[in-house]
Amino acid sequence: MRPVTIRHRAAPVPPRLAALHPVLARIYAARGIDDPSHVEYRLASLAPPQALGGLEAACELLARAIAEDRRICIVGDFDCDGATGTAVAMRGLRLLGARRVEYRVPNRFVHGYGLTPALVETLDEPPPDLIVTVDNGIASLAGVAVAKARGIQVLVTDHHLPGDRLPDADAIVNPNLPGDAFPSKALAGVGVVFYLLIALRAHLRACGGAGTPGGEADLGSLLDLVALGTVADLVPLDYNNRLLVDAGLRRLRAGRGCAGIFALLEAAGRSAGRLIPADLGYAVAPRVNAAGRLDDMGLGIECLLTDDPAAARQIAGRLTAINAERRDVQAGMLEEGEVLVERWIGAHGQDGLPLGLTLFEDHWHAGVVGLVASKLKDRLHRPVVACAPVQAGSEEVRGSARSIRGVHVRDLLAEVDARHPGLIERFGGHAMAAGLSLARAHVARFAAAFDAIVRERTAPELFEPVALSDGELGPHEFTAELAALLRYAGPWGQGFAEPAFDGEFVVAAWRVVAERHLGLSLQLRGRAEPLDAIHFQGWSGQPPPGRVRALYRLVPDDYRGGEAIQLIVEHLQPA
């Protein structure tokens, strides 16, 4: 693994931020904030739904279905964004007056991703009157065609980038369609369906006047689910997404959320009263995702739909057990992936390692390859595609791609597809994450083509690992007041990074924690008391150097309470 270069974010502090804590002012300035109103989160500031294309046709479809008591089938996705989006659609449509609403989620090992012909063919006779896709559908040309042939109307809601052709749906709502005027292109799938529900409520009010069923529905009750799906999908937290996430977090901290999220927080040992986005991203989302990776995402959706705390706890326990199994599978696959990389380096040298790396093992689990790709991407600092057979012995292979900042992996896959027609069967995704399907016999050809295009299209400096710092803290700035301020000054996440600082320290003492982590006592010049620090996954088998440069986050130490603080070390290197 290449050494990490720590660079300081640098931006002048605008005069309008001068009233803030000076550390917070420079953090905001470095993230492009020049006005305090840009970190004030009121739902009234949400981008208006009217700018989102396709809503008029979509609302007419749904309003007619509700008025005529038609059967509506929500077709979701098997990740946390899809699960929360499905739950939001189910709950929201019921609030707005729909009585016959059901959902289906494809089994990734049987139906594939999204609204596929295989999934449509499993729908019972008589089929539903209307299918509403959530977090999928923009690439489902064949699935939409089969649904229409069965007499089913189709409304596509999605946020993934479209291909050259759009499905022949009755309506499409996607902020990333060409020419769409909606200002926030970063909405997650759950965010798109939430906006649709807001527009539908307004449509019902306009058409039915006062007293319209559903016209006064409290859609704010869905914001906890919107926050979870938005954080889990790692979409950039632009201002609009931060508004949605902040509102959802506030509901949960106040004890006003769905029973399932509270049960999952309890199972993970996290406090709802101190909730931050990282709790959703690292504790709740993996438990929901585990259902779709190893089992049936219906279990995760049922956890988010139940209003019975006892039932929620029972399902949360099952999801936690599945997630533990997922961690074991992932650990074994990751170890094997690292061995494959070391063998390659041993045979070809460090410089011979592909810049666009594709790994395939016949016994890997298709539901976990995305996590393996993500871990290896972080360690190797290059785009990684991890592949596995759809099922044991299958000739169809699923790949999950994860990329680094500045390398748009979905566009790279599109270029592979354009240059090598037929090599990839299906693909889709975003800049940082994408998925694809191909034949087992084509994996080696794909690996060569992907590496070649990465080398051709990517500037060499993007492969140098860089960690961004918000500068150094003075000895007097290591306070509980600042740690608490930073905790809730976000919401922090993808594209709005949690503050990190760097500095040189003397290692006064160290210890191994739980066999993998490194506990440290760090002494800073000019400060009498040493600082407690923890470097997760930091134990390498060798003692740390006596003097180090650390990149760290300053957080309250909730376990010691009071004025206690702790440094969460992100990177550690000799000073």
The pLDDT, as a whole number, for residue 210 is 47
Q: What is the mean pLDDT of residues 430-445?
A: 94
CATH of the domain at 120: 3.90.1640.30
The answer as to whether 32 is a domain residue is no
Q: Tell me the pLDDT tens digit for each residue of 452-479.
A: 999 999 999 999 999 999 999 999 999 9
On whether both 172 and 55 belong to a single domain, the answer is: yes
Statement to judge: residues 126 and 238 lie in one domain: yes
Q: Tell whether 220 is covered by a domain.
A: yes
Q: What domain count does the chain have?
A: 3
Give the model's confidence band at 500: pLDDT under 50 very low, under 70 low, under 90 confident, else very high.
very high
Contact 224, 423 (CB under 8 A): no
Q: What is the C-alpha to C-alpha distance for residues 333 and 370, in angstroms, rounded to an integer?
A: 11
User: Which tokens sit at 115?
Assistant: 């609204």
- Element at 388 (helix H, strand E): strand 384-389
Cα–Cα distance, 103 to 86 (Å, whole number): 7
**Confidence label for 73 from pLDDT (cuts 50, 70 and 90):** very high
Strand 565-574 and strand 426-429: pairing?
A: unpaired
Alpha carbon 122 to chain centroid distance? Answer: 29
Average confidence score pLDDT of the chain: 94
Residue 270 lies in a domain: no
Question: In this prediction, what percent of the chain has a pLDDT beyond 70?
Answer: 98
Structure tokens at 145: 């065609």
Give the C-alpha separation, 155 to 133, whole Å.
Answer: 6
Bridge partners (DSSP) of residue 517 are: 513
Which residues are CB-contacts of 236 (< 8 A; sequence separation ≥ 6)?
186, 494, 495, 496
- Residue 555 one-letter amino acid: V
**Which of 463, 495, 527 is where one domain is finished?**
463
pTM, 2 dp: 0.93
In a domain, 337, yes or no: no
pLDDT at 431 over 60: yes
| 130 DSSP 8-state letter | E
Residue 111's pLDDT is what? Answer: 77
| pLDDT tens-digit readout, 8-49 | 998 999 999 999 999 999 999 999 999 999 999 999 999 999
CATH number, position 399: 3.10.310.30
The tokens for 357 are 């790396």
Are 415 and 478 within one domain? no
* 539/515 same-domain check: yes
Task: State the pLDDT at residue 296.
Answer: 85
Does any domain span residue 36?
A: no
Report the pLDDT averaged over residues 262-285.
96
Whether 76 and 206 map to the same domain: the answer is yes
Q: 505 with 537, same domain?
A: yes
Pairing of strands 565-574, 531-535: parallel
Domain membership of residue 347 (yes or no) is no
Pairing assessment for the beta strands 531-535 and 517-523 based on DSSP bridges: antiparallel
- Domain-located, residue 23: no
pLDDT of residue 212: 58
* Residues 515 and 446 occupy one common structural domain: no
SS3 at position 552: strand
Domain boundary among 197, 217, 248: 248
Instruction: Name the helix (H) or strand (E) containing 433.
Output: strand 433-439
The pLDDT, as a whole number, for residue 235 is: 93
Helix, strand or coil, per DSSP, at residue 533: strand
Can you read off the two tokens belonging to residue 19? 């009233």
Q: Are both 83 and 102 inside the same structural domain?
A: yes
Q: What percent of the chain has pLDDT over 90?
A: 89
Section 313-328 average pLDDT: 97
Q: From 444, 463, 482, give the residue that closes a domain.
A: 463
User: Are 510 and 417 in the same domain?
Assistant: no
> In Å, what is the CA distance from 230 to each residue of 41, 185, 300, 312?
16, 13, 16, 21
Specify the pLDDT at position 3: 77
211 phi and psi, to 5 degrees? 85, 5
Residues 70, 140 within the same domain: yes
Give CA 390 to chain center in angstroms: 23
Q: Which of 111-115, 134-138, 173-177 has the lowest mean pLDDT?
A: 111-115
- In angstroms, the CA 570 to CA 498 distance is 12
Q: Which domain holds residue 566?
A: 467-574
Residue 209's pLDDT is 54
The per-residue b/e assignment along 509-538, b for 16 or more CB within 10 angstroms, e otherwise, is: ebeeeeeebbbbbbebeebeebbebbbeeb
Q: Which amino acid is at 69?
A: D
pLDDT at position 54 is 96
Closest CA to 277 of 255, 319, 318, 247: 247
Cα–Cα distances in angstroms (integers) from residue 147 to residues 56, 86, 129, 548, in the given order? 22, 19, 10, 61
350 burial type by CB count under 10 A (0-12 exposed, 13-18 middle, 19+ buried): exposed
Q: CATH number of the domain that 529 lies in? A: 2.40.50.460
- The pLDDT tens digits for 224-260 are 999 999 999 999 999 999 999 999 999 999 999 999 9
Residues 6+ apart with CB under 8 A from 45: 239, 243
In terms of domains, do 473 and 458 share one? no
Number of other CB atoms surrounding residue 332 within 10 Å: 15
In a domain, 7, yes or no: no
Is-contact 411 430, C-beta < 8 A?
A: no
pLDDT tens digits, 522-572: 999 999 999 999 999 999 999 999 999 999 999 999 888 778 999 999 999
**Is 369:398 a contact under the CB 8 Å cutoff?**
yes
Task: Identify whether residues 476 and 491 lie together within a single domain.
Answer: yes
pLDDT digits (tens, 9 = 90+) for 76-98: 998 999 999 999 999 999 999 99
